[in-house]
Structure 1
């Protein structure tokens, strides 16, 4: 049984100042690369005069993320994106994007100072953001008679499954999002009610 994992509960922003440079850290929940792009575009719109907007994200389960990436946005290689990603990975949080917006204050921090500054900014926002638990869901297509719809709805309510869509034709067809730890139980339900079902691959 796969354990669910925490994701950020909401968007949050925190600001720190180090040697006259402003570091504005933002955290946001993301489920795919398009959402990452949208948040980054918003950061650039909000802060068009910032010297750097560095970021890192990981999507999926902490420790075995489906996707992760980082960007130094003009800072010396390895001094911004990587420290941000390291902090994300230590927080045991999935589906998370952290952006750090820097306004240069005129005093150079050096490579070690930059690493500490970006890691510290990421830490400040990640330690304060709330967490919600995200349960991985499996999509199942179900075909059934009209009399079977109500038992299916009832099963979904009891087992935290989502009825994503339902169509009425000669038969009723539904798309159900089933928590991963309930997949076997859902298969048993379909078989006992003689429903046709197919897991999306």
Structure 2
């Protein structure tokens, strides 16, 4: 699995359109449960708002299994889908957008609503700081004490890490490797150790 961008921190933007106030909030949410929890949090913070429309891409940006959206009482297709469309177009993963609307008494029409919800998210995305997430894969490894330094050096070079070590007659190590190049790293370790180090995927 390739690295992908995720939000580095939350963002909030607010705008008024024909007396209605739209507050767009973006939040890093790794997983569907985190996304749903954020939606509930915003609803509890804005109980007087007329609508809390939302969408999320809760996993990697290309994972269609972790998408969701809601119009929350707005006409069908005028809020949740435009919000989701902006999130998917951004190529960012593990992100949830909630747009809170305080109704100002003037109807915007379906086209006006689509623009209001979509543009709010577009505006928030423009100021969103992002960072790269590198999906990890875990492996088990048994090695001699004399091989630990070589293993640690290689892990530093490739962005891996030791999660757990148990010292006995030999050393049992649980380690984490960048998933997208794990197979190549496993081969490098095998070659460096002249075939004595075999990694078992967890």
With the shorter chain as reference, the TM-score category is 0.7 to 0.9
Give the TM-score normalised by the residue count of structure 1: 0.88
| 1:15 counterpart residue number | 14
Is the CA contact (8 Å cut-off) linking 2:3 and 2:180 kept in structure 1? no
Is the CA contact (8 Å cut-off) linking 1:31 and 1:59 kept in structure 2? yes
Is the CA contact (8 Å cut-off) linking 2:142 and 2:172 kept in structure 1? yes
| 1:53 counterpart residue number | 52
Q: Which runs of 5+ in 1 are unaligned?
A: none
| 1:149 counterpart residue number | 148
Q: How big is each residue's C-alpha offset from its partner over 1:159-185, in whole Å with a ceiling of 9 and x where there is no partner?
A: 111323333455433332211332123
| 2:136 counterpart residue number | 137
The Cα RMSD (Å) is 2.0
Q: Which has the larger radius of gyration?
A: 2
Give the TM-score normalised by the residue count of structure 2: 0.87
Q: Which runs of 5+ in 2 are unaligned?
A: none
Matched, 1:109 2:108: yes
| Cα gap change, 1:172 to 1:35, in 2 (>3 Å) | farther
| Cα gap change, 1:48 to 1:156, in 2 (>3 Å) | same
* In 2, Cα distance between equivalents of 1:77 and 1:180: 39
* Number of residue pairs the alignment of both structures matches: 199
| 2:38 counterpart residue number | 39
* In 2, Cα distance between equivalents of 1:169 and 1:99: 52
* In 1, Cα distance between equivalents of 2:122 and 2:70: 17
Which of 172, 196, 199 is the aligned partner of 1:197?
199
Cα distance, 1:191 vs. partner? 2.2
Is the CA contact (8 Å cut-off) linking 1:9 and 1:132 kept in structure 2? yes
Matched, 1:72 2:71: yes
